[in-house]
């Protein structure tokens, strides 16, 4: 197992504007590390620099404790899955999977064995003799994934490898890639903009925006206590609800209707005049699942999505669109007026100017799924 360490890595293209700016992080040996962020944030560029496909403007990259800034990709002992497949059109699926093994002079018996096992895992056994042009987009992506898995290198880099698969296969492949990574004890660095993949697959995740690190941590810690409002909006579906709050008369007042006791927050928050208040949709509940210390508000529902195991509601209040997540199936219609309850222990407090987190919730996400009607 190899460690990968980035020390103040920077990449600039035009006019010295960095697309990756002073990124420093250590990926531990055998760790499944996820880079997540919106399109254009620099995560794929960062992955390509680790692979040796992009040069580094400043900083250093260490692979297995050895500086790798000027090592060619073939000397970095890693494999990579590209978003655009990168298959050889004149080779069969089988030959594409074993191409790297041929270069490494792996014995024919071992090549066949790895190819067979990997093809079976990814559902490619019936396509081994086909050329890439005879495959669908999702099948081509699986071939690219199989090629990286079959190489069994100590480091595997993946650039949105599941983006072209259908929803059912993506869910299956998430768990299979994770199981395989544990079995092979590979150090895996995985790029995605899909927060579900980031939350369910990673040991740790790094949220990036505009080339800069926003937060690094365990997925559930990032979800529960986002370091700033960007992370709060980006991680979570629906995103965290964020609205201004005023500090006055021993309370934080929201929209002249909600009053949260100031003693629940740290002293530096009590000295503020205004803050940003954030709460996850699952902590805006109905009366039947009211939490101790919650405060109610009557709202008009303007959008409903019943997903089977949960119901998503939207409403307008305090010049903000709010989202609530109720576990179970609820008989709520657009235009209904319903009471909602805000759990006081679930609020995040952000600085009005810097947007950074001042205090996370004292409440953890431990609500149980319930079924009910309004």
Q: What confidence tens digit (pLDDT) does each residue in 313-329 have?
A: 999 999 899 999 999 99
Phi-psi region of 211 (alpha: psi -120 to 50; beta: other; left: phi over 0): left
Domains, the chain, with CATH or none = 4-224 (3.40.50.300), 229-359 (2.40.50.140)
What backbone torsions phi and psi does residue 166 show, to the nearest 5 degrees? Answer: -75, 165
Measured CA to CA, the distance from residue 248 to residue 244 in angstroms comes to 13
> CA of 122: how far to CAs of 86, 146, 200, in Å?
18, 7, 19
List, in sequence order, every residue forming a beta bridge with 303; answer none if it has no partner: 314
Q: By CB neighbour count within 10 A (0-12 exposed, 13-18 middle, 19+ buried), where does 307 fall?
A: exposed
**Who has greater pLDDT, 250 or 222?**
222
Q: How far is CA 71 from the centre of its chain?
A: 30
3-state secondary structure 292-338: CCEEEEEEEEEEEEECCCEEEEEEEECCEEEEEEEECCCCCCCCCEE
Confidence of residue 293 (pLDDT cuts 50, 70, 90): low
- Residue 196's closest CA among 138, 235, 226? 235
Q: What confidence tens digit (pLDDT) does each residue in 44-85 have?
A: 999 999 999 999 999 999 999 999 999 999 899 999 988 777
List, in sequence order, every residue forming a beta bridge with 244; answer none if it has no partner: 276
Residue 96 has pLDDT above 50, yes or no: yes
Those residues whose C-beta lies under 8 Å from the C-beta of residue 103, and which sit 6 or more positions away, are: none
- pLDDT of res. 152: 85
- Runs of H (alpha helix) within the chain: 43-51, 93-103, 108-122, 137-151, 167-184, 195-201, 219-224, 229-234, 267-270
Angle at the Cα of 368 from the Cα atoms of 363 and 371, rounded to 5 degrees: 135
What backbone torsions phi and psi does residue 35 show, to the nearest 5 degrees? Answer: -100, 120
Q: What confidence tens digit (pLDDT) does each residue in 224-259 have?
A: 999 999 999 999 989 999 999 999 888 999 988 888
Confidence of residue 289 (pLDDT cuts 50, 70, 90): very low
Q: Is residue 189 a contact partner of residue 155, using CB atoms and an 8 Å limit?
A: yes
Report the chain's C-alpha Rg in angstroms.
24
Cis check: omega of the bond before 305, within 30 degrees of 0: no
Measured CA to CA, the distance from residue 105 to residue 111 in angstroms comes to 9
What backbone torsions phi and psi does residue 176 show, to the nearest 5 degrees? Answer: -70, -40
> CA of 271: how far to CAs of 14, 268, 277, in Å?
44, 5, 15
3-state secondary structure (DSSP) of residue 107: coil
Segment of 270-274, 292-296, 351-355 carrying the highest mean pLDDT:
351-355
Q: Is residue 189 a contact partner of residue 4, using CB atoms and an 8 Å limit?
A: yes
């Amino acid at each position: 197992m190899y460690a990968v360490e980035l020390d103040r890595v920077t990449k600039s293209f035009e006019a010295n504007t960095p697309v990756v700016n002073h990124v420093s992080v250590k990926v531990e040996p055998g760790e499944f590390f996820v880079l997540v962020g919106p399109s254009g944030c620099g995560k794929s560029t960062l992955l390509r620099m680790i692979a040796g496909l992009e040069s580094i403007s400043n900083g250093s990259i260490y692979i297995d404790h050895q500086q790798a800034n000027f090592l060619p990709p073939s000397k970095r002992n890693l494999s990579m899955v590209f978003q655009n497949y990168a298959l050889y059109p004149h080779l069969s699926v089988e030959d594409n999977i074993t191409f790297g093994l041929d270069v490494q002079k792996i014995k024919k018996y071992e090549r066949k064995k790895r190819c067979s096992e990997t093809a079976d895992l990814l559902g490619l056994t019936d396509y081994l003799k086909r050329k890439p042009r005879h495959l669908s987009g999702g099948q081509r992506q699986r071939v690219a994934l199989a090629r990286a898995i079959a190489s069994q290198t100590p480091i595997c880099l993946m650039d949105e490898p599941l983006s072209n698969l259908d929803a059912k296969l993506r869910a299956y492949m998430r768990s299979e890639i994770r199981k395989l990574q544990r079995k092979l004890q590979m150090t895996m660095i995985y790029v995605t903009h899909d927060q579900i993949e980031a939350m369910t697959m990673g040991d740790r995740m790094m949220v990036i925006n505009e080339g800069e690190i926003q937060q690094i941590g365990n997925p559930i810690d990032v979800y529960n206590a986002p370091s700033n409002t960007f992370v709060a909006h980006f991680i979570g579906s629906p995103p965290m609800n964020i609205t201004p709050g005023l500090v006055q008369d021993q309370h934080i007042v929201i929209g002249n209707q909600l009053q949260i006791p100031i003693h629940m927050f740290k002293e530096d928050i009590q000295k503020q005049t205004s803050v940003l208040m954030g709460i996850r949709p699952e902590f805006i509940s109905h009366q039947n699942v009211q939490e101790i210390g919650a405060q109610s508000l009557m709202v008009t529902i303007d959008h409903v999505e019943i997903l089977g195991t949960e119901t998503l509601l939207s409403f307008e209040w305090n010049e903000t669109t709010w989202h609530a997540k109720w576990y179970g199936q609820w008989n709520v219609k657009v235009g209904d007026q319903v009471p909602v309850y805000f759990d006081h222990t679930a609020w995040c407090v952000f600085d009005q100017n810097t947007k950074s987190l001042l205090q996370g919730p004292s409440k953890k996400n431990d609500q149980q799924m319930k079924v009910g009607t309004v």
